[in-house]
A and B are shown apart, each in its own frame.
Chain A
Amino acid sequence: MRFRAKMIDIGCFNHFTRVVNTISKLTKTCTLRLTTDKLYFILSDKVANGGVSMWCELSQGNFFDEFQLEGVSTEHNEIYMDLAAENLSRALKTAHNAKSLKIKLTNKHCPCITVAVELPSLSRVSRVVTHDIPVGVIPRKLWNDFKEPSVPDFDVSIYLPPLKTMKNVVERMKNLSNFLVLEANLNGEMNLKIETDLVSVTTHFKDLGNPSWGDNGSQDSTQDRDPETMMDVKVDIRKLLQFLAGQQVNPSKVICNIVNKRIVHFILLHEDVSLQYFIPAHE
């Protein structure tokens, strides 16, 4: 197994850093999957994560100048590894004015992702900062746990309001209740509701717009439904807030798919990065 990649563009550093920061805010450890043309940050929906799962996909060509990968075998030319995203985030933190960034898979005291940052210096020789991030290589037989989640059979699909606004609202609500009901309809309306013994608070958003999914199967089933009908899902407010607060990439649009009472699925699309986040309904 071999992996070497090099990044030299400052814009790419910053973008990559922002993506990694977002990931590190969403989860402590995640799985990094490397293929010849993409990188994936995956969080699978195990019980330990509270059912939350994440899938983030980046095209390596948009970030790296050089990218060489030799996977576990020729037919499976991929590498899966467990990684603490926070370590990667910390390693990249000081690279904002770097001359170059090299990432490779090494085997020091244990398998590591080594991030070598070349920084400008006062002398003709650059400073080199090396970070060795320990990783756990995941064997081939467990790869099935990390399959790409399919878009669920959703009942409503809607664009979210500006994330910042939504985050502020949810932050205030967090102090009042542990669970939040997120509901939306096909008319571009969304409500965020909390209810306790003493108080109930609802924030209404409208004119949000609904994405059209083309000839997606689920779209047909919703044709007959009254566009005013609200589909809702009750989620743990902290998980929702974690998703909203961690966003550093400014996505052009965020799509929210709701399966009534089951799961909410967020899709962020930004140029070359796509991030999907699933929050199951609270039982």
Chain B
Amino acid sequence: MKCVLAGSNVKAFGKAIHALSRVGEDLWLDPLEKGLAVRSVNSSRSAYACFLFSPLFFQHYSKVTTQQPLDEGDVEPVLKCKLTMKSVLPIFRCLATIERNVERCKIFINFRDSHVVFQFSCRHGITKTHNLGFQECESLQAVFPRDMCPNVLKAQARLLGDVVMHFPVWQEEITLAVTPVKVSFRNYFEEETDLTKVMHTEISLNPDEFDYFQVGVDSEITFCLKELRGLLSFAESTGLAVSIHFGTSGKPVAFSIDDMVLEANFVLATLIDTESQAASPKRPHRGTLLQSLAVMTQPTVPLAGEMELAELARTGHEGSIAMETSIPELPQALDREAELVISSQGSAIFNGKAARESVIACHWSEYGVGVHMDQIQEEAVGVVPATIGHNKVRTGCFYNHGSSHGDTIKQQDHPYFVNQVQLLRRGWTKVLCWNGVRGIQVSRLCLKGFSGVPCSSTHCCWRSPPSSVERMPWCCPAWCVPVTTRRSWRKERRSPARTLSLS
């Protein structure tokens, strides 16, 4: 593995290391196709943290270190290595100094000498090289189908920072309680604590304060605040929003940050609520991630014996993979025969074809528009898996293939990566795309456009979104839809905006 970080990204990387250091004592480095995954897990296996930096975060990124052809029969091992936090953290300890002095940081794995090398090119021609010994290890991954969680909250990091500010630094655990009308955080004490001596703090928030609020089931989960603080301070410093996916008590909670160039996931186990236990009242104990996840994992996934977390070697298969949608009414379009590749980000495993079918089915049932399935598939240009690349799970790839919209669409073969697909009311979809260079572009598509059917509606595609919309953040599976270029979008904006009524 070899990568080069430049400028302010070195500081962001350092901040991520700081956040991971709050979780565990070891750091796992896992170079993947889709980027560099840096992970940590705590000793009791009740907290898992992962940062995935996409290749765009780096000036240069390659999964393999050597480009030379190997000897016959040899496969260059894709090296996963484990470093101690004690050795890595001091390198990134003083972020202010790094910001001031370091121009570039090169990280590569020298597997001959069993070292991970961090090389800082600093101002005044100074180069600092740190050689850290590593241990080879198996991949560390947490299996957590985030999209199956009934409760999803998304908030700006500032909001969460304001909440945890009310709890003292030494507060170990807090309880998050949600109902459809209220969200509250309160501190949690073990049973042995003398309740007459400690101060109880509770903060309640209105659901309006969240960027996204979905409560499928009322629940109260208790998790460790200390481990989370690392992620919250990372989010605050980078200004990104944090999503929280969780279910009932006992099931893990996932805190994630998604950005174009990086993703972070912190999965924490929650305390099992003893009151709901039937016979023997047990002391509340923290369910391990394994226990909590046992229910959720696919039957075809072998759980490796004694291991607390399912540690699976990546197979790198690009074939069709199973996905489950979070829409309960839909039939599960799972492709059971497929090789299950667990995303290291903990997001749902994925079947492009089934997803497309099920999503479209959803649209149809919700909006009452009928389009024949075959027609859709005929019109839509097949997705070429090889082009999906590192954005496979989270994003998809758009090609425009000639559109009837009548606008100039340049760069016919230029892929646009989909960042987010938002379903608006009345059959409209907002698609946020990014072409790898120029930043976010927005397309609004009607249902037909969404499915790849040529659309003659003048509203389609070009309206800048109105201010209040109903949002449903989605992982966008890969399919093809026509998309406008930035220029055409800008052109359209100049004409007086006709607001779309969404009532």
A interface residues with partner B (beta carbon < 8 Å)? 84, 87, 90-91, 94, 108-110, 112, 119, 121-125, 127-134
Known: A121-B206, A121-B209, A129-B166. A110 touches B195 (CB 8 A): yes
Which residues of B are found within 8 Å of A121, using beta-carbon distances? 205-206, 209
Which of B168, B195, B208 contacts A122 (CB under 8 A)?
Answer: B208
Which chain B positions have C-beta within 8 A of A130?
200-204
Given contacts A109-B195, A134-B196, A134-B197, contact A123 B206 (CB under 8 A): yes
Q: A129–B202 contact, CB under 8 A?
A: yes
Question: Considering only CB atoms, which chain A residue lies closest to B182 in the complex?
Answer: A125
Cβ of B278 under 8 Å from chain A? no
**Chain A, Cβ-Cβ closest to B197:** A134
Complex contact A132–B200 (CB within 8 A):
yes
From B168, B198, B203, contact of A128 by CB (8 A): B203
Given contact pairs A94-B165, A110-B196, A127 touches B204 in the complex (Cβ within 8 A):
yes
A123 and B183 CA atoms in complex are apart in Å by 13
Q: Judge whether A87 and B166 touch: CB under 8 Å.
A: no
Q: Does B240 contact A (CB under 8 A)?
A: no
A112 nearest CB across to chain B (Å) = 8
- 7 tightest Cβ-Cβ pairs between the two chains A and B: A123-B208, A125-B206, A132-B200, A87-B199, A110-B196, A129-B203, A123-B206
| A88 and chain B: residue at smallest CB distance | B199
Could you say which of B165, B166, B209 contacts A123, with CB atoms under 8 Å apart?
B209
B148 near A: Cβ within 8 Å?
no
Chain A residues with CB under 8 Å of B159's CB are 122
Bound-state CA distance A132–B168 (Å) is 14
> Max chain A CB contacts within 10 Å: which of B166, B197, B207?
B166
B201: which A residues are within 8 A, CB to CB?
91, 129-132
Would you call B208 and A133 a contact (CB within 8 A)? no
What 19 additional pairs, Cβ within 8 angstroms, besides A110-B196, A123-B207, A128-B203?
A: A90-B168, A90-B199, A94-B165, A112-B200, A122-B209, A123-B206, A127-B162, A127-B204, A127-B206, A127-B209, A128-B204, A129-B201, A129-B202, A130-B200, A130-B202, A131-B200, A132-B199, A133-B199, A134-B199
CB neighbours (8 Å) of B204 from chain A are: 127-128, 130
Tell me, rounded to whole Å, the shortest Cβ–Cβ distance linking B54 to chain A.
30
* Distance to closest chain B CB from A221 (angstroms): 48
**Docked complex Cα distance between A109 and B201 (Å):** 14
Please determine whether A134 and B198 come into contact, CB atoms closer than 8 angstroms: yes
**Chain A residue with minimal CB distance to B200?**
A132
Bound form: Cα–Cα A201–B166 in Å: 44
| Nearest CB of A to B195, in Å | 5
Distance, CA A119 to CA B165, complexed state (A): 13
* Of listed B165, B197, B203, B207, residue having the most chain A CB within 10 A: B203
CA distance A131 to B206 in the complex (A): 18
7 A-B interface contacts by CB (under 8 A): A84-B199, A94-B166, A127-B203, A127-B204, A128-B204, A129-B203, A131-B200
Which residues from chain A contact B197 at a C-beta distance below 8 Å?
A: 134
Q: How far is the CB of A87 from chain B (nearest CB, A)?
A: 4
B183 to chain A, nearest CB (A): 10
Name the residue of chain B whose CB is nearest to the CB of A111. B196
Which chain A positions have C-beta within 8 A of B199?
84, 87, 90-91, 131-134
Q: Which of A90, A108, A110, A125 has the most CB of B within 10 A?
A: A125
Give the distance in Å from the alpha carbon of A110 to the alpha carbon of B196 in the complex.
Answer: 6
Is the Cβ of A124 less than 8 Å from the Cβ of B208? Answer: yes
Measured between beta carbons, the chain B residues less than 8 angstroms from A119 are 162
**Closest approach, in angstroms, between the C-beta of A40 and any C-beta of chain B?**
21
Bound CA–CA A110/B198 (angstroms) = 11
Chain B residues whose C-beta falls within 8 Å of the C-beta of A128 in the assembled complex:
203-204
Nearest-Cβ distance from residue A96 to partner chain B, whole angstroms: 11
Q: How far is the CA of A129 from the CA of B184 in the complex (A)?
A: 9
> How many whole Å from B161's CB to the nearest CB in chain A?
12
A156 to chain B, nearest CB (A): 42
**Residues in chain B near residue A125, CB distance under 8 A:** 206, 208
Docked complex Cα distance between A128 and B162 (Å) = 12
Residues of B within 8 A of A109 (CB): 195-196
List the A side residues contacting B203 at CB < 8 Å.
127-130
- Which residues of B lie under 8 Å from residue A112 when comparing CB positions? 200
Which residues on A sit within 8 Å (CB–CB) of B196? 109-110, 134
> Residues 149-177 of chain B: 1 if any A CB is under 8 Å from the residue's CB, otherwise 0?
00000000001001001101000000000
Chain A neighbourhood of B195, CB < 8 A: 109-110, 134
Cα–Cα, bound, A90→B196 (Å): 17
Cα A112 to Cα B201 in complex, Å, equals: 12
Q: Which of B198, B205, B208 has the most CB of A within 10 A?
A: B205
A154 CA to B205 CA, complexed, in Å = 55
CB closest chain-B residue, reference A133: B199
Chain B 481-498 interface residues, beta-carbon cutoff 8 Å to A = none
B419 to chain A, nearest CB (A): 24
- Which chain A residues lie closer than 8 Å to B205 at the CB level? 121, 127
State the CA gap A128–B166 with chains docked (Å): 11
- A119, B163: Cα distance in complex, Å: 11
CB neighbours (8 Å) of A132 from chain B are 199-201
For the complex, give the distance between the alpha carbons of A91 and B187 in Å. 13
- Report Cα–Cα, A71/B209, bound state, in Å: 40
